[in-house]
Amino acid sequence: MSKDHHYAGLELMYLNAPINAFYPPRIEIGEGSCSIEIDVKKDYFHAAGAVHGSVYFKLLDDSAFFAANSLEREVYVLTTSFTTYLTRPVSSGVIRAEGRVVNQNRSQFIAESVMYDGEDREIARGNGIFVRSKIALNSVSGYEY
């Protein structure tokens, strides 16, 4: 079975974003869902030797964002708010964020994400509101649909 072209286009867009050269992620998008994982590197650490909260935020927001954009095929969505809860430090292995849309209406998507360490222990969670922009997806660099 072949991958939905929209999901594949979103995955390419994400992987080609300049910031992701620093975080070489792996991503998989489905209907209303997204999984992103990265290998932990010391480059991501704060002074106390664990992954900085900005990395947690990035993966949580990105996975929730792409879960939302999986349901919008015409335009790019935008994060309007995102709340993050950090519950466990991590300093090795793989971290994975699983995003999913929990509600949507004509004007917005509400999505949540949970992050896990390599032993499938929850290390963070977050939720956000995403809205449709006026930016056509086919005009966004890297999106090929």
Tens-place pLDDT, residues 4-34: 999 999 999 999 999 999 999 999 999 999 9
Q: Please, is 57 exposed, middle or buried when counting C-beta atoms within 10 Å of its C-beta (0-12, 13-18, 19+)?
A: middle
pLDDT of res. 103: 98
Fold of 5-139: Thiol Ester Dehydrase; Chain A (3.10.129)
Query: Computed from CA positions of residues 126, 14, 28, 139, in that sequence, does the dihedral angle turn out positive or negative?
Result: positive
pLDDT of res. 2: 63
pLDDT of res. 94: 98
Tens-place pLDDT, residues 29-75: 999 999 999 999 999 999 999 999 999 999 999 999 999 999 999 99
